[in-house]
Amino acid sequence: MKIVLNREKLNSFYVQTIKDISLQKIMSCYQCGKCTAGCPVADFMDVVPNEMMRLVMLGEIEKLLSSKAIWLCTSCFQCGTRCPKGIEVHRVFEALRSIALREGKNYTDIEKLSEDVLDEIPQQGIIAGFRKFESLE
């Protein structure tokens, strides 16, 4: 993957927003990979947690906003619990999801959910699942 570095990208509105709403020191990540090692869904992600941290550092935010990984994250807080640098990686994931949702990029398509699932799954699951859907009306 070819990455071009430039000042605008490193200080973009996106990067600033991620820092503001996650409150994490992105630059202190030293790429040990511990977040990824503990992530229960890393096997299924197109961008794993430590790669995500690296791409945020490099200002490659568009790649992340269109990734599947930010939506696969279950918010289990394992990454943040284990990070030796004390970075709450789960908050960086949430910041990316929030940016996408605030731009109207929904992930959950409510109309496609099956009746069976809605009947059985406890409310907390439905509400958490629906937070990947932002009605802009």
90 and 82 in contact (C-beta within 8 Å)?
no
Interface with ligand SF4 (CB under 6 A), residue from 15, 18, 29, 100: 29
Distances from the Cα of 21 to the Cαs of 1, 25, 91, in angstroms? Answer: 28, 11, 8
Nearest C-alpha neighbor of 48 from the set 32, 63, 27, 33: 33
Taking residues 44 to 83 in sequence order and writing x for each that binds ligand SF4 by CB under 6 A, - otherwise, the string is: -----xx--x-------------------xxxxxxx---x
The one-character DSSP state at 5 is -
End-to-end CA distance of the chain: 38
Interface with another protein (CB under 8 A), residue from 3, 10, 32, 128: 128
> Which one of the spans 4-12, 30-38, 59-67, 105-113 is the region binding ligand SF4 (CB under 6 A)?
30-38
- Residues of this chain that interact with another protein (CB under 8 A) are 20-23, 40-41, 43-44, 71-72, 74-78, 80-81, 88, 90-91, 94-95, 98, 107-108, 113, 117, 120-132
